[in-house]
Chain A
């Protein structure tokens, strides 16, 4: 087998504070996803809803192995990635609720979270569609002489898309610093791995493209972190793509509309014994009271997120056409029609004039730059965070 790292069990535990933070984040994701499911059942959330319950260790293990200036790009199962990367749970929940305060201002929904400030470059609804984008981001880093790495998360089903082969080839050919992380949760929707893939050791599918493969137990946050840290280091230092396969399992259906007829209750029960959250809590030696306290804290944050989302406003109807185009002084004329009129839409013209008065702006790339400059580990002052919490409670 070419260049496959089989990780020994028993990777070093992180220190106490980090371990606790990993656990907190996994708990936050778990509780967030559970509540999102409930809100879906209450029709507060529309569309499709794909939950990552069971896959928390793959998310936290990977994201905590990244630097703040690295890029993360994910799939339609991406609430957890946004949360782990630092997005405010209130704004992620507000996006699910379709509100203007959502991370994508209600344009994206569950499958299309985005948070530029935290370099979370989006959830994407097209299976395998995000791989080329990831390689492009890595190309941008490389082109600009920056040592950022892009981490690209996708599922086992995406490994069968043409973009998988095309992108791995190109990334290897151009020596791009990107880690392709396939979260092998055993099913592409309802089709089991052995029914959709001739080579079921997915980390070996990079061999033919010259992309080294690594594998980790995706139910173990410590091992996932260890393998991803090494993969990211190699991508950064050796200037090459790495394919990491995280073996995991989703405890819930593919989406909320999934009767789960393709797998047995026994199989699900067997995997649930490997639940990454209680196993990790036990491993870092937290007593039951402490675990309970952390869990209550996660529940409280999710409660606040729901309260915030429920009160947040829907995007106003007059904003329907916002953000189709970047309106500056270059582009003029007639953009799009709806069924009522073929004229310039009200609002577009006025904004265009306003921009022309202000002169050309480049907030976006300034923000990209700013996100890259932020120091690793920089956090919001505690009093500011507390003030926000107080606001939410009094709201």
Chain B
């Protein structure tokens, strides 16, 4: 184990997988000479050269499309998009091609590639750089979707994503880049997609936190224990496709209450989907309506006080959990 930042864990994953497999290469805006907008790719150009660490023009749709073509023809591209908002320019290639080609051509073509992108509010970047859009990608069949919240998961999931034969949308979080955690140094530290992590065990309520909100949920659980004598079980699904629904259902059957915390918008969100799945399969076990804590239903404002109240923090989670008890 070594303590490192989330961004360093990602960097290590990229380095190890590039050392392991010649077919793995990186493409993205300012990932080379500039070392990456968030420094995830720092030092890789120096180590691997321009053939494998490729600075691109600002052409998101074409960068992703070229990744798809290169993957179809035998390589394993890792494409970095500078923020998730910019990935919207590549939505055509991501949805119409990356996710679709394996199915559309009857299984003949494979697209083993990863598209990495960071999301999240908190840096006052306003309405075009701050959103959490995992729900958009969750909507699309044909690709895998990872939302790691710890340094260890960031490394293990990225390594697994690169080795996987499916296309993967890999959503990082800008706030998490600087967070430290214990990371296994084993070259084969892989985390399987579709395996949730139980961050904290508890008997009273299940809190599911998505992306950075897994961290917020854990902090909220500490407050609930200290101040309200409520023991929350905190689950981080880690990947949304495939989703480890079994672990979530098992927890809900034990606690009989579920609260879902996400930073994205409420309508058509990850929580909306998850609430539907839980009530379909564990309705008889619920003692209260499933609660959701989400980002505010608006474009992210710039001004600090407004931004801070536009996405969830621990008090909102605590309040939502308490409400599931008041409903009794």
Say whether B102 contacts A332, CB under 8 Å. no
Say whether A71 contacts B73, CB under 8 Å. yes
Q: Mark B233-264, 1 if CB is under 8 A from A, else 0.
A: 00000010111111000000000000000000
Q: How far is the CB of A126 from chain B (nearest CB, A)?
A: 5
Q: Which residues of A contact B67 (CB under 8 A)?
A: 136
The interface stretch among B8-16, B56-64, B175-183, B311-319 is B56-64
Say whether A342 contacts B280, CB under 8 Å. yes
Q: Which residues of A contact B51 (CB under 8 A)?
A: 143
Say whether B65 contacts A342, CB under 8 Å. no
The verdict on B286 contacting chain A, using a C-beta distance below 8 Å, is: no
The verdict on A316 contacting chain B, using a C-beta distance below 8 Å, is: no
The verdict on B200 contacting chain A, using a C-beta distance below 8 Å, is: no
The verdict on B110 contacting chain A, using a C-beta distance below 8 Å, is: yes
Q: Which residues of A contact B280 (CB under 8 A)?
A: 342
Interface centre among A124, A137, A325 (most CB of B within 10 A): A325
Say whether A107 contacts B110, CB under 8 Å. no
Say whether B73 contacts A136, CB under 8 Å. yes
Q: Of all chain A residues, which has the CB nearest B241?
A: A335
Q: Which residues of B contact A324 (CB under 8 A)?
A: 102-103, 141-142
Of B73, B106, B243, the residue contacting A114 (CB under 8 A) is B106
The interface stretch among A159-167, A266-274, A283-291 is A159-167
Q: Of all chain B residues, which has the CB nearest A329?
A: B192
The interface stretch among B91-99, B221-229, B294-302 is B91-99
Within 8 A of A (CB), among B131-166: 141-142, 144, 160, 163-166
Q: How far is the CB of A42 from chain B (nearest CB, A)?
A: 24
Q: For the complex, what is the distance from the CA of A342 to the CA of B276, rounded to whole Å?
A: 10
Say whether B93 contacts A325, CB under 8 Å. no
Q: Mark B266-295, 1 if CB is under 8 A from A, else 0.
A: 000000000001001100000000000000
Q: Mark A58-78, 1 if CB is under 8 A from B, else 0.
A: 000000000000010100000
Q: How far is the CB of B176 from chain A (nearest CB, A)?
A: 23
Say whether A104 contacts B61, CB under 8 Å. no
Say whether B25 contacts A332, CB under 8 Å. no
Q: For the complex, what is the distance from the CA of A116 to the CA of B105, rounded to whole Å?
A: 9
Q: Which residues of A contact B68 (CB under 8 A)?
A: 132-133, 136
Q: For the complex, what is the distance from the CA of A368 to the CA of B51, rounded to whole Å?
A: 22
Q: How far is the CB of B143 from chain A (nearest CB, A)?
A: 9
Q: How far is the CB of B113 from chain A (nearest CB, A)?
A: 9
Q: Mark B34-69, 1 if CB is under 8 A from A, else 0.
A: 000000000000000001001011010111111111
Within 8 A of B (CB), among A66-109: 71, 73, 102-108
Of B54, B69, B110, the residue contacting A326 (CB under 8 A) is B110
Within 8 A of B (CB), among A7-52: none
Say whether B107 contacts A136, CB under 8 Å. no
The verdict on B71 contacting chain A, using a C-beta distance below 8 Å, is: yes
Q: Of all chain B residues, which has the CB nearest A333?
A: B194
Of A325, A326, A333, A365, the residue contacting B74 (CB under 8 A) is A365
Q: How far is the CB of A86 from chain B (nearest CB, A)?
A: 15
The verdict on B72 contacting chain A, using a C-beta distance below 8 Å, is: yes
Q: For the complex, what is the distance from the CA of A144 to the CA of B74, rounded to whole Å?
A: 9
Say whether A143 contacts B242, CB under 8 Å. no
The verdict on B170 contacting chain A, using a C-beta distance below 8 Å, is: no
Q: Which residues of B contact A333 (CB under 8 A)?
A: 192-195, 239, 242-245
Say whether A129 contacts B97, CB under 8 Å. yes
Q: Mark B78-105, 1 if CB is under 8 A from A, else 0.
A: 0000000000000011001100011111
Say whether A139 contacts B66, CB under 8 Å. yes
Q: For the complex, what is the distance from the CA of A372 to the CA of B162, rounded to whole Å?
A: 25
Q: Which residues of A contact B142 (CB under 8 A)?
A: 324-325
Q: Of all chain A residues, which has the CB nearest B58?
A: A166
Say whether B242 contacts A166, CB under 8 Å. no
Q: Of all chain B residues, which has the CB nearest A361?
A: B165
The verdict on A131 contacting chain B, using a C-beta distance below 8 Å, is: yes
Q: Mark A111-131, 1 if CB is under 8 A from B, else 0.
A: 010111000011011100101
The verdict on B75 contacting chain A, using a C-beta distance below 8 Å, is: yes
Q: For the complex, what is the distance from the CA of A106 to the CA of B105, rounded to whole Å?
A: 8
Q: For the complex, what is the distance from the CA of A174 to the CA of B66, rounded to whole Å?
A: 12
Q: For the complex, what is the distance from the CA of A169 to the CA of B59, rounded to whole Å?
A: 10
Say whether B56 contacts A332, CB under 8 Å. no
Q: Which residues of A contact B197 (CB under 8 A)?
A: none
Q: Of all chain A residues, which has the CB nearest B54?
A: A174
Interface centre among B61, B108, B141 (most CB of A within 10 A): B108
Q: List 16 A-B contacts (CB under 8 A).
A: A116-B105, A116-B109, A132-B93, A135-B65, A139-B66, A144-B74, A166-B62, A169-B57, A173-B57, A326-B166, A332-B193, A332-B194, A333-B243, A333-B244, A334-B243, A335-B241
7 extra interface residue pairs, beta carbon distance < 8 Å, beyond A132-B69, A140-B69, A143-B75: A114-B104, A121-B109, A143-B51, A162-B62, A324-B103, A325-B166, A331-B192
Q: Which 8 A-B pairs have the closest CB atoms?
A: A333-B194, A136-B69, A132-B65, A333-B242, A105-B106, A140-B73, A133-B69, A136-B66
Task: Give B residues with C-beta under 8 Å from A.
Answer: 25, 51, 54, 56-57, 59, 61-75, 77, 92-93, 96-97, 101-110, 112, 141-142, 144, 160, 163-166, 190, 192-195, 239, 241-246, 277, 280-281
Task: Give A residues with C-beta under 8 Å from B.
Answer: 71, 73, 102-108, 112, 114-116, 121-122, 124-126, 129, 131-141, 143-144, 162-163, 166-167, 169-170, 173-174, 322-326, 328, 330-337, 342, 364-365, 367-369
